[in-house]
Amino acid sequence: RVLSLELNKDREVERIHGSGINALDIEPVEGRYMLSGGSDGVIALYDLENLSRKPYYTCKVLCSVGRSHPDVHKFSVETVQWYPHDTGMFTSSSFDKTLKIWDTNTLQPADVFHFEGTVYSHHMSPVATKHCLIAVGTKSPKVQLCDLKSGSCSHILQGHRQEILAVCWSPRHEHILATGSADSRVKLWDVRRATGCLATLDQHNGEKSKASSEAANTAHNGRVNGLCYTSDGLYLLTIGTDDRMRLWNSSTGENTLVNYGKVCNESRKGLKFSVSYGCNPEFVFVPYSSTIAVYTVFTGELISMLRGHYNTVNCCAFQTNFQELYSGSKDCNVLAWIPALQQLVPDDTSEKSLPQQHLIPAYEDAWSSSSDEG
């Protein structure tokens, strides 16, 4: 299904933003409701389900925090995220130096956290049961951890030298956090430990040549502005302004050296990319100028480029139930990409007369169904 993703001509996503869309998030409970955050500070909430049951339909905006809302963000919204366990709450963070916790039903902020600098990114753990911490990346080199229970920014992780552009909790271990910074470094933290930092990822795996002038222990040769774990949490993908994407073993911190080629990245802030779930092999969807590049995670092969936006794509979100993709762009549009419908074969044709479908060799089944071989 992912290999045949194409722009859905029968489904529109209602257009509400007057400027670029920076962030999308689909709630993990039903996979039905989606949030978007825009450069105009507006947040919109969409219903992705086709209630009309007609083939051509529009995903409607159920409600929004518009410019006239008293609690609207003053500047660009950079990240939106649903509370992982139910749709009654969602979070947003903005260049206006705030992180807001919203009650979905009343569209009122239940809590607001204020920071000294621009907020680039925030993330809540999808699996946490023992803590309610929101990791926040700001203009400060310190990673802030805000506690939803106490309403305080109790915890600070120190070690980066420049602003934090991306933060991401492990979907496997609730206390493990990854952070990416403008200092070219990616750090892994255990938030239970006093010192915090478990590892600083090194693109050379410790085998740096003496002649190299690059700083030791850098994950990229540029700002690190995107992080995403694979769905099982065993690997971490990072993106930098050196036009590279790297895949790391998240338990050993080792660079797996998968080569994705040049991954064009001109973003001056966080880049929101996403990974497939439940596919074999797994794919990664990366905003790439005005397109979305689809790579296989473990071989680095560029499978396809999804074209349809008129301007820079800032974010994409994968809908796991139906293997669909949604993307947001500077062109103010959210586009839906769905698997192309396979052509149905009439029943009266015998199977032998059908042309063989040519699969990419990697996707052919290697097993044999004949009994005499076993």
- CATH number of domain containing 229: 2.130.10.10
Q: How many CB atoms lie within 10 A of CB 3?
A: 16
pLDDT tens figures, 192-201: 987 779 999 9
In a domain, 294, yes or no: yes
In a domain, 300, yes or no: yes
Name which of 176, 169, 164 is nearest 121 in CA terms: 164
Q: Which amino acid is at 333?
A: N
What distance in Å separates the CA atoms of residue 197 and residue 188, rounded to the nearest whole number? 6
CB neighbour class for 164 (10 Å; exposed up to 12, middle 13-18, buried from 19)? buried
Does residue 360 have a pLDDT over 80? no
pTM of the model: 0.89
Name which of 95, 33, 86 is nearest 64 in CA terms: 33
3-state secondary structure of 209: coil
- Mean pLDDT in residue range 339-363: 55
Q: How many CB atoms lie within 10 A of CB 359?
A: 10
Name which of 111, 23, 39, 22 is nearest 74 in CA terms: 39
pLDDT at residue number 344: 55
What distance in Å separates the CA atoms of residue 19 and residue 331, rounded to the nearest whole number? 7
| Cross-strand partners of 6 | 338
Q: What is the DSSP letter of 219?
A: S
What distance in Å separates the CA atoms of residue 130 and residue 56, rounded to the nearest whole number? 44
Does residue 355 have a pLDDT over 50? no
In a domain, 362, yes or no: no
3-state secondary structure of 127: coil
Residue 302 pLDDT grade (very low, low, confident, very high; cuts 50, 70, 90): very high
In a domain, 123, yes or no: yes
- Mean pLDDT in residue range 40-47: 96
Q: What is the mean pLDDT of the chain?
A: 90
Name which of 282, 162, 287 is nearest 224 in CA terms: 162
- Mean pLDDT in residue range 70-80: 96
In a domain, 291, yes or no: yes
In a domain, 364, yes or no: no
Residues 99, 136 contacting (CB under 8 angstroms): yes
pLDDT tens figures, 245-295: 999 999 999 999 999 999 998 888 899 999 999 888 999 999 999 999 999
pLDDT tens figures, 12-39: 999 999 999 999 999 999 999 999 999 9
Pairing label, strands 11-13, 57-59: parallel
| Count of domains observed in the chain | 1
Q: Which residues contact 167 (CB under 8 A, 6 or more apart)?
A: 121, 122, 123, 135, 136, 137, 143, 177, 178, 179, 180, 227
Residues 166, 140 contacting (CB under 8 angstroms): no
pLDDT at residue number 353: 46
Q: Which amino acid is at 308?
A: G
Residue range(s) defining the domain that contains residue 37: 2-339
Does residue 143 have a pLDDT over 90? yes
Sign of the torsion angle spanned by Cα atoms 46, 14, 73, 115: positive
Does residue 351 have a pLDDT over 50? no
Quick one: how far is CA 124 from the chain centroid? 13
Residue 343 pLDDT grade (very low, low, confident, very high; cuts 50, 70, 90): low
Does residue 96 have a pLDDT over 80? yes
In a domain, 89, yes or no: yes
Q: How many CB atoms lie within 10 A of CB 41?
A: 22
Q: Which residues contact 61 (CB under 8 A, 6 or more apart)?
A: 14, 16, 44, 45, 46
Name which of 213, 63, 216, 197 is nearest 143 in CA terms: 197
In a domain, 346, yes or no: no
